[in-house]
Structure 1
Amino acid sequence: MNTATKVVLVLGAIFLIGGIAMFAVGVGSVSNLEEADFPFDIENQTSGTIMIDDKDGLGDIGITFWVEGTYEDSDNNGIWDVCENIQITITDVPEINKEWDYAENYDGDFYFEVVHNHSGGGESDCSDDAQNKELGRSADGFVKIGRACYACYAGNVSFESSQPVWVTYDDPIIEEIMDEVVGIFAGFGLGFIGTCCGVIFLIIGLIMALTMKGGGQQQMMYMPPADNMMIAQQPTVQPTTTHMSQPDFGQPPQGGL
């Protein structure tokens, strides 16, 4: 296996492991969001004050009131019992942003609300509708009964209640939830990208490993330069000398038949 193939396979493994890790981060964020325990700003009190921050200067959603109990209508009058047995008065409230829908109607005061628009008519009330239940804290024994300081600018909101209540400042909770949602999308998004890249690199690496020869040394023929080539000596041909005597025509041949 040559170096290029090894590099591609290693990159594929890194991307794949990173993608799986980011998926785990996304799953962990979902788990944290589901198990998040947002604390109450005021607990078991009949009066109190909460400071509204209003970071963007456009008004805040406000505060939510909770009581211990369940959603029941024992007298069948169409209203949850937990809403009938309590009276809450807002004694101090900041200015409100009147450009918000319904802001002038509420004017920062307390109003009963369990689930806004629970039947599709834009209502906020305590009617004993099966869809009008806020069960986010029911496991801890708390149910939502209403809200106050809707569309409030920065300042203090104070209240008095005929029964002990628990109060949450909603805007910081919403910000924290949004941060968790961003973490979820980031985790799953990066996990998906990393996993896809890892798989692609691994496939390319496997193809390279199967199709490319790695590490084999190829034989090379050495050709010496032309000026270093040996010149074969050609044999020298020597002329052959034949010794022959010249005929003597002055003397007759001797002997006879």
Structure 2
Amino acid sequence: MHTAAKVLLIIGTIATVIGIVGFALGAGQVDDLEDSWNTFEFEDATNGTIMIEDVDGKGDAGLTFWVKGVYEDKDEDGTWDVCQNTEVTITESPDVNNSWEWAGLLDGNFYYEVQANQQCDANDRNTNYDRDGKGLVKIGRACWGCYEGNVSFESNQSVWVTYDEKVGEKLGDDIGIMILGFVGGFGSICCGVLFLIIGGIMALTMKDNKDQGMMYMPPAGNQMLSAQTPAVTPNQTHMSQPDFGKPPQGGL
């Protein structure tokens, strides 16, 4: 298999696995959203104390009170019965930011509210079933615009209390992680699949590196140069013919 194809297949596999993990992370946050939404400072309580943090020092949105029940007006006096049957008293609260509308007038105390500016008026538009899964209905709020400090309450019947800004922060974190998981996971899977497809095509169509030999390029004009072997001239030896006409002279 060609080296480039191997690299693409490896990258594609890793990216796909990362994408699957990201999707799993995003899916896991869906359950965390419900848990964060149903975070209560007190459950089924008739009294308690909650610390208001007011991180920015500009005042806090405060607390919301819920009770078991339904919105109905059996005596038809124009007020929800659950509100009439529940009395909440704030026994301790920090100072408030008077620049907030109504904060100075309320002074951290409990006030009945189902929907904004409708108090506990019995009408179809004035209902809140945000936590209907737990059988709870909203009856009011407290500590609107409070600075940092303790809030203590007492109630004539069991209430559930949520710290609104804390719930909002948890939801924001969970939503951010969920979006990051889904978007990042989807993008990673898309890239991984693309790399796998390209790598697969290259693996099927490209030859292995070791199968690619060196190609011979003929010289220009397609003319082969012939090797010339130099001619070797043999050495000639000249021998003189002996002369038998005259015998050698000399002697005794």
TM range, smaller chain? 0.7 to 0.9
Name the counterpart of 1:203. Answer: 197
1:212 and 2:206 aligned:
yes
The amino acid of 2:31's aligned partner reads: S
1:149 and 2:143 aligned:
yes
1:74 match: secondary structure: coil
1:83 match: secondary structure: helix
More off after superposition, 176-185 vs 160-169: 160-169
The amino acid of 1:77's aligned partner reads: D
Q: What's the TM-score once normalised by structure 1's chain length?
A: 0.76
Structure 1 residue 154 displacement after superposition: 0.6
Structure 1 residue 231 displacement after superposition: 5.6
Structure 1 CA distance for aligned equivalents of residues 152 and 4 of structure 2: 70
After superposing on structure 2, the runs of 4+ consecutive aligned residues of structure 1 that deviate more than 6 Å are none
Structure 1 CA distance for aligned equivalents of residues 149 and 215 of structure 2: 91
Structure 2 CA distance for aligned equivalents of residues 94 and 191 of structure 1: 45
Name the counterpart of 2:249. Answer: none
Structure 1 residue 136 displacement after superposition: 3.3
Structure 2 CA distance for aligned equivalents of residues 93 and 46 of structure 1: 17
CA 1:157 to 1:124, structure 2 compared with 1: closer, same or farther past 3 Å?
Answer: farther
Structure 1 residue 51 displacement after superposition: 1.9
CA 1:161 to 1:212, structure 2 compared with 1: closer, same or farther past 3 Å?
Answer: same
Is 2:16–2:189's contact at 8 Å kept on the other side of the alignment? yes
Structure 2 CA distance for aligned equivalents of residues 154 and 195 of structure 1: 46
Structure 1 residue 183 displacement after superposition: 0.9
Name the counterpart of 1:84. Answer: 84
Structure 2 CA distance for aligned equivalents of residues 39 and 218 of structure 1: 66
The amino acid of 1:232's aligned partner reads: T
The amino acid of 1:100's aligned partner reads: W
1:161-201 per-residue CA deviation (whole Å, 9 max, x = no partner) reads: 33332323222222211111111111112112212321332
Name the counterpart of 2:240. Answer: none
The alignment of Structure 1 onto Structure 2 pairs a total of residues equal to: 228
1:130 and 2:128 aligned:
no
Structure 1 residue 105 displacement after superposition: 4.2
CA 1:32 to 1:47, structure 2 compared with 1: closer, same or farther past 3 Å?
Answer: closer
Structure 1 CA distance for aligned equivalents of residues 204 and 98 of structure 2: 71
Structure 2 unmatched ranges of 5 or more: 218-225, 236-252
Structure 1 residue 236 displacement after superposition: 4.9
Structure 1 residue 233 displacement after superposition: 5.0
Structure 1 residue 147 displacement after superposition: 0.4
More off after superposition, 139-148 vs 129-138: 129-138
Given candidates 234, 241, 249, the residue that maps to 2:231 is 234
Is 2:37–2:167's contact at 8 Å kept on the other side of the alignment? no
More off after superposition, 82-91 vs 133-142: 133-142
Structure 1 residue 36 displacement after superposition: 4.5
Q: Percent identity?
A: 50
Q: What's the TM-score once normalised by structure 2's chain length?
A: 0.77
The amino acid of 1:86's aligned partner reads: T
Name the counterpart of 1:252. Answer: none
